[in-house]
Amino acid sequence: MKKQCMNRVAVIGTGFVGSSYAFALMNQGIADELVLIDVNKEKAKGDVMDLNHGKVFAPKPMNIWHGDYQDCQDADLVVICAGANQKPGETRLDLVDKNINIFKTIVDSVMKSGFDGVFLVATNPVDILTYATWKFSGLPKERVIGSGTILDTARFRFLLSEYFQVAPTNVHAYIIGEHGDTELPVWSHAEIGSIPVEQILAQNNNYKKEDLENIFINVRDAAYQIIEKKGATYYGIAMGLVRITRAILHNENAILTVSAYLDGQYNEKNVYIGVPAVINRNGIREVMELKLNETEQQQFHHSVTVLKDILSRHFDEVK
């Protein structure tokens, strides 16, 4: 019988992202139980020891242990962080072949446990691997979510907040599309304290369109810059994963830019891609369909086309 009283999260893969996520999750006191699963069992055991030593400083008790796929049976959320990492000079899409094979083994093992919760995928290329997780698991599309462009959107809001000198929480703007080189900023819906960015540009000569274009380029290329400097990105995405986790476990109905399945929204079908969606205990309640301008719609369609081209090499039903 499925447990109802305790929120259990299973993390698969305790590399940079998985361990950073576990640390952030404990710090924020989001879950009641946390199980770490990794092919390198000694690494998982070491992380558990390290995390448990910090529990006395955590905001609430959390039972943390290393385990195996059978522990996913009673999990409310399984977060997949395992897979090959992006190396300097590689795009996220270069990782497809390596990681689809890894994911088939992982998802099959999780489902064999009797898991009946929500999958959250963090591994790149996240849109492709979220689709793969959906197909391999057989779960409803609403209960398979990718981290999508939640980090890109956070980077976007942060850089815009610096440019306009306001708090990031007062910046409302989205990056949508592939979590990768074809993503796009939705300038037509970008606002600073409810004032459209396009209106600010028209009324204030201190702000320039070229500056905003450079901000987006820095958002899009941020991962390459970080990987070049420190080898991998993990703090930002870990915080983004915790934000999604909180929306799920606390049934928040929060709007976050995640990788969600499109079934006609934005005039696109049969693809997982980064879009704003309402997230609650059941996963994705609904996809929020922004009214894009013509340029944005073309850019979004291009992003979909790139992803579908990759998917069609691995899944016959993708046209």
Model pLDDT for residues 140-177, shown as the tens digit of each residue = 999 999 999 999 999 999 999 999 999 999 999 999 99
Q: What is the pLDDT of residue 88?
A: 72
Please check if 2 is assigned to a binding site.
no
Q: What is the pLDDT of residue 319?
A: 56
Q: What is the pTM of this model?
A: 0.94
Average of per-residue pLDDT across 288-295: 97
Give the domains, in start order, of the chain with CATH numbers: 8-146 (3.40.50.720), 150-311 (3.90.110.10)
Show Cβ contacts of residue 187 under 8 Å, excluding neighbours closer than 6 positions: 173, 197, 198, 212, 296
Taking every pair of Cα atoms in the chain, the longest distance, rounded to a whole number of angstroms, is 63
Is the pLDDT at 84 greater than 90? The verdict is: no
Please check if 233 is assigned to a binding site.
yes
| DSSP-derived secondary structure for the chain | ----SS-EEEEE--SHHHHHHHHHHHHHT--SEEEEE-SSHHHHHHHHHHHHHTGGGSSS--EEEE--GGGGTT-SEEEE--SPPPPTT--GGGGHHHHHHHHHHHHHHHHHTT--SEEEE-SSSHHHHHHHHHHHH---GGGEEE-TTHHHHHHHHHHHHHHHTS-GGGEE--EEB-SSTT-EE-GGG-EETTEEHHHHHHH-TTS-HHHHHHHHHHHHTHHHHHHHHHS---HHHHHHHHHHHHHHHTT--EEEEEEEEEESGGG-EEEEEEEEEEEETTEEEEE------HHHHHHHHHHHHHHHHHHTTT-TT--
Catalytic residue flag (residue 250) = no
Please check if 16 is assigned to a binding site.
yes
Is the pLDDT at 210 greater than 90? The verdict is: yes
d(CA 242, CA 232): 19
| Residue bearing the bigger pLDDT, 86 or 280 | 280
Please check if 89 is assigned to a binding site.
no
Catalytic residue, chosen from 53, 179, 250, 302, is: 179
Q: What is the pLDDT of residue 129?
A: 96
Picking from 122, 126, 120, 121, the residue whose alpha carbon sits closest to that of residue 92 is 126
Which residue do the tokens 């796009």 mark? 184
| Residue bearing the bigger pLDDT, 2 or 146 | 146
Provide the token pair at 295.
């340029």
Average of per-residue pLDDT across 63-86: 93
CB 241 within 8 A of CB 259: no
